[in-house]
Amino acid sequence: MRCISSRPVGRWCSSTAKWVVLWSANPLNTLKIAWNASDEQGIPWFDRLRQSGKRLICIDPMRSETVDFFGDSMEWIAPHMGTDVALMLGIAHTLVENDWQDDAFLTRCTSGYDIFARYLTGESDGVAKTAEWAAAICGVKADKIRELAQLFHENTTMLMAGWGMQRQQYGEQKHWMLVTLAAMLGQIGTPGGGFGLSYHFANGGNPTRRAAVLGSMQGSVAGGVDAVEKIPVARIVEALENPGAEYQHNGMARRFPDIRFIWWAGGANFTHHQDTNRLIQAWQKPELIVISECFWTAAARHADIVLPATTSFERNDLT
């Protein structure tokens, strides 16, 4: 199952899903964002969903544009910021507590569930991830957590996650846990059930194309060696502040490179980083910074050399 390029919304959710859960997803905003052009074509699918009579839930600390769009047809549940994993664990524990997990699916289609189950029940660390345990962390009442577990188990449920909840340290665990929860429900691959992780660029909700896809340039040369190890973009400040320091990412221990020269192209680090003042201080450390940019952005103003790049209006190519 593709997690990014193929996302079920349209016909499946409109006709077969009984419950649709938007988890940290705000498609009425993010479908207006894309690599090159906005993707409003996906919004009509959500309008059909609004008119379908389906039970809709939005789990998000913020009351988003999407909640306002769906209005009374959607229930809004607001956990504390950054506590999504605890809420999912509470739901998962309730599934196990009532023997609602799909053991046949977990055995056939997953690996490692036994290790996770020992953590979930507290066998491995002495802490059972019960609904009460989760409620104390996420602020959602234990009875509501148990209710969600029962609803997800008894109905065809589509879990639709956005990317916002990942934008923090250890954020990847939220999507790992959401996929684990979907696997426990055993509905992945069924009409109207399972999960999706991308409802913004590439027209989330539109039918997936079946035509051939043009190839693209590879990110690295065969046999070549990357000059610098890849790092999470949100940790660029930590990398500049702590060269050589160890950090955790995606379940692995890594070390920050000692960055002396930066060539930045196609990004807007000064507008999307969490702490701009801290970034400005760390940005003074490299010996040379080159920016390829079309406009006089904040990143360009803080560079040693700016190489002008063309806009899409100035290029004559396939994009």
- Cβ neighbors of 99 (< 8 A, separation 6 or more) are none
Contact in structure between 142 and 131 (CB atoms under 8 Å): yes
Between 6 and 199, the more confident residue is 199
Q: How confident is the model at residue 210 (pLDDT cuts 50, 70, 90)?
A: low
- What lies within 8 Å, CB to CB, of 305 at 6+ separation is 288, 289, 290, 291
Of residues 79 and 53, more confidence is placed in: 79
The structure tokens listed for 309 are 């790049």
What predicted TM-score, i.e. pTM, was given to this entire model?
0.74
Lowest mean pLDDT among 116-125, 128-137, 215-224, 285-294: 215-224
For residues 222-247, b (16+ Cβ closer than 10 Å) or e, as one string? eeeeeeeeebeebbbbbbbeeeeeeb
Beta bridge partners of 56: 20, 74
Q: Which pairs with CB-CB distance under 8 Å and at least 24 residues apart come from 305-312?
A: 309/265, 312/36
Residue 183 clears pLDDT 80, i.e. is over it: yes
Least confident of 44-53, 105-114, 145-154: 44-53
Q: Where in the chain is the domain with CATH 3.40.228.10?
A: 12-196
Tens of pLDDT, residue by residue over 284-310, are: 999 999 999 999 999 999 999 999 998
pLDDT of residue 224: 65
Largest pairwise CA distance in the chain: 62
Residue 206 pLDDT > 80: no
Task: Report whether CATH 3.40.1260.10 matches the domain 12-196.
Answer: no
CA distance 134 to 32: 34
Name the average pLDDT for the chain. 84
